[in-house]
Amino acid sequence: MKRSTQSGVDLTMFWVRDSSIAKRLTRMNILVSGAGLFLCCAVFVAYDVVSFREAMVHNLSIQAQIAGSDSVSALLFNDPQAAQNTLSALKAAPNIVSAGIYTPESRPFAMSGGMAPAKACRFLRFPPVKSKAHWFKDSHLLVVRQNFVQEKPAGTVFIRSIYTR
């Protein structure tokens, strides 16, 4: 709010000085309370985003572990159809876009979600994984979990899921 006199002098500073201490304290309380409320809301939103992502990674990692455990015998006996049947159970989750089971040599063994093996190999280009890893890329979550039989790698399960930001 700008007030001026005939001489063109800005009286805004005079207006602030003319207000009572009670008005100044009220304005200061509103400003501090608003800033505190904004900060709290920002922290709650950040916490919610982080906990949502952690829960999503945890759930997909469990699904990958289950699919990996169910497909170990298929990998050992070279039965891609059994591995494909294991992956078909993941179609029940609407957020899973594609999944794959890979041999210990990183060759595609079974794919789900309409992925061709050539396209699936493109997704497998990531650093070596000790047992599990995940990445957020674009609007997808990529989870990779390696299976072990008697402490030897038996294969790798890859799940790609979509999420909304």
User: Tens of pLDDT along 60-108?
Assistant: 999 999 998 898 888 889 888 999 988 988 888 888 888 999 988 888 8
Confidence of residue 150 (pLDDT cuts 50, 70, 90): confident
CA angle 151, 80, 85 (to 5 degrees): 100
Report which of 48, 147, 45 is spatially closest to residue 104, judged by C-alpha positions: 147
| pLDDT at residue 6, as a whole number | 55
Q: How confident is the model at residue 42 (pLDDT cuts 50, 70, 90)?
A: very high
Please name every residue paired with 147 in a beta bridge, in sequence order, or none if there are none: 155
From CA 21, how far away is CA 23, in angstroms rounded?
5
**Number of other residues whose CB lies within 10 A of the CB of residue 13:** 9
> What are the Cα distances from residue 77, in Å, to 7, 87, 103, 130, 164?
96, 17, 12, 24, 39
Q: For 114, which DSSP code?
A: S
pLDDT, position 121: 47
